[in-house]
Amino acid sequence: MESVRKANQRLRNYPILLTKCADKASAYAICVSRDPNVQHKICDAEFKKLLSCIRKSAMELKTKL
């Protein structure tokens, strides 16, 4: 059950990570919602920036994703 507790803790950290990257998340959301027919990898640059920010924030918090 230790693994479940650790997984739950990681899930509780996601809102914290997203708030630290709110500007990048907003840019990605704007890109995705711009066109109702979203194509594969059309917002890849924005997604990579968001993912990079989340990973950096996770390292600062010393948590896994």
How high is the pLDDT of residue 9? 87
pLDDT in tens, 9-55: 888 989 999 999 999 999 999 999 998 888 898 999 999 999 999 99
Give the model's confidence band at 59: pLDDT under 50 very low, under 70 low, under 90 confident, else very high: very high
Residues contacting 50, CB < 8 A, separation 6+: 21, 24, 25, 27, 28
| Phi, psi angles (nearest 5°) of residue 40 | -60, 130
Q: What is the spatial distance between Cα 38 and Cα 15, in angstroms, rounded to a whole number? A: 25
How high is the pLDDT of residue 65? 82
Sign of torsion, CA 11 36 49 20? negative
CB neighbours (10 Å) of residue 28?
Answer: 19
How high is the pLDDT of residue 6? 87
How high is the pLDDT of residue 1? 85
